Structure 1
């Protein structure tokens, strides 16, 4: 009888260990997947930042326009005026930059969306700026939303009054300009 209890105990322990190791492997796979997604999001953010900076440096209005999604261009109020404004506003060559980003994803009945909000603090030889953009990475329901939705460049010293991370105060299609300039 004792042998049956020992065998039963050993069997339960082995099954418990197998179940725990399966959960642990799933957790590790999920963590790795999140890490790869974050790395990919960083690459996308850096690529779009570099395209924006390149367009500003070369005063390439059409190149900057091409980064925006078709729907953002339709919704934007005076995209050409916004581009002119931002090209006159941003000055200098980049000396350093720091980045922060936030990703939001939704999957509603198989309709997926993914958006990234990216904020760079950029120091140039002429000043320090916040370069903020909202980029729609995935939209299976409305593919014309994919691309840059919003771009905001402000002086870091104006952060308190002009920046809310694309919230109600500043979110707009196209290029953000302060109310005093609109």
Structure 2
């Protein structure tokens, strides 16, 4: 009987240690950006990116803002420097309040994980109310050049109906959304 109890105790201890190890692994994955496991993690990632964008605009840090974009987005963007100048001149004021909505898409294909974060902020400054929207590729195991900001759009909140569509047909572009640039690209593709 004592041997059966000993074996049972060993099984219980082994199982407990296995469960603790799995829990620890899950915690490490969440901290590494595995967004499907923890929505709060996605919000933290979005808020950090948002804060960096706003800091760069407030400090007139063109290089800092440009560094946030993925190498692929920088290559595909039409006039990223002009886009940064446009957005720096467009966005005015100090933040009084902000609200956020997030959309996250995680994919795994043959063990190759990708994760994209779309963040939509309504920002009220002491000058105006804006929509700040960005698409951030947070993980791309197969193509690390995709990791970083893909698109940034800042528009007046009053123009949402005309100019905003979650990075779809109206606004999808690598780099910084500018209404005139998007309209020009649409004409060129026809």
Same fold (TM over 0.5): yes
CA distance in 2, matches of 1:168, 1:158: 16
SS of 2:38's partner is helix
CA distance in 1, matches of 2:98, 2:37: 23
CA distance in 2, matches of 1:89, 1:36: 37
> Corresponding residue for 1:95?
96
SS of 2:50's partner is helix
Q: What is the Cα deviation at residue 40 of structure 1?
A: 0.9
> Corresponding residue for 2:109?
108
CA distance in 2, matches of 1:147, 1:73: 10
SS of 1:39's partner is helix
Gap regions ≥5 residues in structure 2: 1-22, 185-190
> Corresponding residue for 1:84?
85
Q: What is the Cα deviation at residue 176 of structure 1?
A: 0.3
CA distance in 1, matches of 2:36, 2:69: 27
CA contact (8 A) 2:92 2:125 kept: yes
> Corresponding residue for 2:141?
140
CA contact (8 A) 2:36 2:106 kept: no
Confirm or deny that 1:156 pairs with 2:165.
no
TM-score by length of 1: 0.79
Q: Residues 78-113 of structure 1, C-alpha deviation per residue, up to 9 Å, x if partnerless?
A: 000000000000000000000000000111111111
SS of 1:96's partner is strand
CA distance in 2, matches of 1:119, 1:138: 19
CA distance in 2, matches of 1:57, 1:104: 30
Where do residues 1-182 of structure 1 align in structure 2 (5 Å cutoff)? 37-179=38-180
Deviating beyond 3 angstroms after TM superposition, the runs of 4 or more aligned structure 1 residues are: 32-36
Q: Residues 16-44 of structure 1, C-alpha deviation per residue, up to 9 Å, x if partnerless?
A: xxxxxxxxxxxxx8xx9778521111111
SS of 1:103's partner is strand
CA distance in 2, matches of 1:169, 1:35: 28
CA distance in 2, matches of 1:66, 1:131: 18
CA distance in 2, matches of 1:82, 1:99: 23
1:106–1:36 CA distance, 2 compared to 1 (3 A): closer
TM-score by length of 2: 0.76
